[in-house]
Amino acid sequence: GRADAPSVGELLRRLRPRGRPAIEAADPDQFSRHVFRRARGDLLGRLCSAADDDQAERICGILDDMMAESLETLRLVPSSTPEASVSTELAESVRALREHGSERVRLLARGIVSGWEASVQNQDDGAKVTPATPMKKP
């Protein structure tokens, strides 16, 4: 393997905590969570048995692509309660992905979090009470 390539252990640590929330966020009417879980498990198994770091890095690239697709799906699904999205375990996981090793994943995660925060801000701005202005007599 390459001297600068991350070890299989480093790659596993990078991926392990991030996949489950993205899988759980998948829309069950459009995507089977079971299929996502099985594919992720298969890829993690291959990663653990990778012959060398180059093969492990290719597998991580596939996992990063799956993560990006999950984030893209999450980005496209409107949240009916943006404040709930911002404060859930899913939000914590998406926030953590802003520091992911894949630039595509980082950018998608940052965009999703920014969108959630903007939605909450817009909702808060719309809910502010404005004082009544006196009516002018004709």
List per-residue pLDDT tens for the chain, 138 residues long.
444 555 556 655 555 555 555 555 555 555 566 777 787 778 778 878 888 888 888 888 888 888 898 889 888 876 665 555 566 777 888 888 999 888 999 999 999 989 888 887 877 666 554 544 455 555
Owning domain of residue 13:
8-126
Residue 35 lies in a domain: yes
- CA angle 35–37–42, rounded 5-degree value: 95
Closest CA to 49 of 3, 4, 8: 8
Q: How far apart are CA 63 and CA 43, in angstroms?
A: 7
Residue 2 lies in a domain: no
Q: What is the pLDDT of residue 121?
A: 80
Q: What is the pLDDT of residue 64?
A: 86
Q: How many domains does the chain have?
A: 1
Residue 86 lies in a domain: yes
Residue 1 lies in a domain: no
Residue 26 lies in a domain: yes
How is residue 100 written in tokens? 């992911």
Q: How far apart are CA 10 and CA 13, in angstroms?
A: 5
Q: What is the pLDDT of residue 2?
A: 46
Residue 131 lies in a domain: no
Q: What is the pLDDT of residue 23?
A: 53
